Amino acid sequence: MEKKHIEAVVFDLDGVITDTAHYHFLAWKQLAEEVGITIDEVFNERLKGISRMDSLELILIEGNRQNDFTLAEKEEMATKKNLHYCEFLKELTPEAVLPGILELLAAIKAEGISIGLASVSKNAATVLKALQLESAFDYCADAAKISKSKPDPEIFLTACNGLGANPAYSIGIEDAQAGIEAIKASGMFAVGVGNYLEGADYKVEATSQLGWEIIKEQYFTRL
Ligand code: B16
Ligand code: MG
């Protein structure tokens, strides 16, 4: 099937629009240390795009402590991590929008193409507000209403549905392996940002390389 047009571009938030992925890491690192577990940036790649409770499970497994806590204790730990994270979010200003993103959003908007957000973060609205980007998106999928986190396609399909766009004619942009898998499972064209990604249709190392012309060129040359 030849792709003749683009109906929507759906963005991940953490790690694509802004580097809150690093704040998530710092908050988890702090929480993990409180229970004697050490995590590093390489391990953190596995937490990107993964829900809060699923991230905690992976950390506990990493520290071989998966059977040491009750559900109530785990919920308390997840809440604590979120408090650490929200403290970091207070530092967030519009200057934290990653390089190239404002230009990319403007270029897509100029062509009248719908723009969506597919973040599984329950803090997404707070982050967009701090970045002064609330009006940049035509539709934001609500993480609170999503039952399966990435790599399940649910959040990308929800975003396309909210935009009235056909996933087969839409593009997703992600920095996480789980996110790339979610985009592909939804039938969209996957643009990956970062070094550790597999399976993206087109990949760049950093957001500054996310030019709209090259993304379109890649999209239209892939059948
Ligand atoms: P919260 P994304 C994801 O956001 C993050 O990548 C992931 O690390 C985080 O655990 C998840 O949101 C949940 O976030 O604890 O704020 O609800 O990449 O889908 O924009
Ligand atoms: Mg991300």
pLDDT at 223 over 70: no
Cα 18 to ligand 1 centre (Å):
12
Nearest atom (ligand 1) to Cα of 118? 19
Q: What is the pLDDT of residues 104-125, one digit of tens each?
A: 999 999 999 999 999 999 999 9
Cα 47 to ligand 1 centre (Å):
8
Q: Name the residues annotated as catalytic.
A: 12, 14
Choose one of 10, 81, 117, 119 to mutate for the ligand 1 pocket test, by most ligand atoms within 8 angstroms of C-beta: 119
pLDDT at 1 over 70: no
Question: Number of H helices and number of E strands within the chain?
Answer: 9, 6
Delineate the domains of the chain, giving CATH numbers in brackets: 8-18+94-221 (3.40.50.1000), 21-89 (1.10.150.240)
Q: What global pTM score does this model have?
A: 0.91
Q: Which of 38-52, 80-94, 121-135, 186-200 shows the lowest mean pLDDT across its residues?
A: 38-52
Residue 149: band (very low, low, confident or very high) from pLDDT cuts 50, 70, 90: confident
**Neighbouring C-beta atoms of residue 147, cutoff 10 Å:** 8
Q: Side chain identity at 202, as an amino acid letter?
A: Y
